[in-house]
Amino acid sequence: MANVLILGGGFGGVIAAESLARQLSKEHQITLVSHNSQFIFYPELVRLAFGKCKPTDISFELREAMLDRRVRFIQAEVARIKPNSRRVVLTNGEVEGELPYDYLIFALGRRLATERITGFYEHSHNLLTLDGALKFREALRGFHEGSAVIGQCPEARLPVPVYETAFALARWLEERGEKDRVKITVVSPDAADVEFGDTKIARALRKALAEHHIEYRADFPIDTVTPGAITTSNGHAINYSLLMLLPPFRGPGAVRGLGITDEEGFIGVDRAMRVQGVERMYAVGDCVNFGGPKLGHMAVHQAEVAAANVALEIAGFDPASRYNHDMMMVIDEGGEDSIYLHKGWWDDEPAIVRQGRFWSWAKRVHDKYWLATHS
């Protein structure tokens, strides 16, 4: 009998647990640990902030979902990993102390390094948690005029909600007849002509922003937020009355100091999703050190690869499943400028870019289907 431990109840953890439950026979034990009792479907947080859905529409209880798939759920915080003794230290939860494992799939996501931007925590909204989205929703209710600034800090690695928030805000103000009283600016630390590593994607995005009279400021590496203004490390400043920023991303604290991460704390893995230099440990999702943006569909694909390889190892074979680092997403503009893009991160092929109202609809349908089939 093998004891498989999965850490994290996000896209990576849930898919790893489901895939393993399908592939392993009943004598093996699968346990999922997360400090949050709920799964939150992050890509819907922008719509939540704009009142298009409720928290219950975009979340489900992990314990129930896991029980249905004969996976044990433990609500607790992961404090440390001890790969040499194959143990995980849990705290603040249903189980305290050390939990042993035979195989580990690590999927604790990324840490929001708000401390790297002076004043971020005190003054900026972010849409990266349920609470953050609900607070931003409250701020929107009282916002009728002035300057709205939306953007990414250096090393934020997630442009989708930045663009979707800017488009949603523009439409929201247009519906209220308040668009002329508000200036919306999107700021990015990247160069002007490249987005997601591709000029075609950048052109499609700039055109959609221009249609909504949204200003775009590239090469804007924010380093300080004060009440009413953001400033950059290269001496520029913008005043704001409403601010939503994505902070820098870093790897999770539970693996710090183990010698398995890069300088930013992301875990080094191979294409089989095995943690380099450690036996029987896999890592998937936002916590791994692959380049480019960090996206949910990548976490899902990586989790499927890791689960397949753990099942092979348990059966006495070598890991044979391999991950391919493709970027695929929809940036929902709410109408005909919605963008679908697909680009292989490890090849030189140009991106596939499609635009149209269909993609906005397709994203809604996909999200609902995903939640219905995994809850």
Query: Which parts of this chain interact with ligand FAD (CB under 6 A)?
Result: 8-13, 33-36, 42-43, 45-46, 77-78, 107-109, 127-128, 158, 160-161, 252, 254, 285-286, 294-297, 299, 329
Q: How far apart are CA 164 and CA 151, in angstroms?
A: 11
Closest CB to ligand FAD among 132 and 221?
132
In this structure, are residues 271 and 322 in contact, taking their beta carbons and an 8 Å threshold? yes
Closest CB to ligand FAD among 322 and 366?
366
CA distances from 122 to 117, 145, 243 (A): 10, 22, 11
Question: In the bound complex, what is the minimum distance in angstroms from residue 264's beta carbon to ligand FAD?
Answer: 15
Question: In the bound complex, what is the minimum distance in angstroms from residue 221's beta carbon to ligand FAD?
Answer: 21
Closest CB to ligand FAD among 187 and 232?
187
In this structure, are residues 237 and 230 in contact, taking their beta carbons and an 8 Å threshold? yes
Question: In the bound complex, what is the minimum distance in angstroms from residue 36's beta carbon to ligand FAD?
Answer: 4
51: left (phi over 0), alpha (psi -120 to 50) or beta: left
Q: What are phi and psi of 324, to 5 degrees?
A: -115, 130
Question: In the bound complex, what is the minimum distance in angstroms from residue 318's beta carbon to ligand FAD?
Answer: 25
Question: In the bound complex, what is the minimum distance in angstroms from residue 369's beta carbon to ligand FAD?
Answer: 14
The helix-helix angle for 199-211 and 160-176 (nearest 10°) equals 20
Closest CB to ligand FAD among 46 and 232?
46
Closest CB to ligand FAD among 236 and 374?
374
Beta strands in 204-314, from DSSP E residues, in sequence order: 215-217, 222-226, 229-232, 237-239, 242-246, 249-250, 281-283
Q: Which residue reads 């109202």 in tokens?
A: 357
Closest CB to ligand FAD among 189 and 252?
252
Closest CB to ligand FAD among 189 and 251?
251
> What is the three-class DSSP state of 120?
helix
Closest CB to ligand FAD among 230 and 283?
283
3-state DSSP helix/strand/coil percent for the chain, to nearest 5? 35, 30, 40
Q: How far apart are CA 303 and CA 284, in angstroms?
A: 6
Question: In the bound complex, what is the minimum distance in angstroms from residue 177's beta carbon to ligand FAD?
Answer: 27
Question: In the bound complex, what is the minimum distance in angstroms from residue 370's beta carbon to ligand FAD?
Answer: 10
Sorted by sequence, the CB contacts under 8 Å of residue 372 that are 6+ apart come out as: none
Question: In the bound complex, what is the minimum distance in angstroms from residue 289's beta carbon to ligand FAD?
Answer: 13
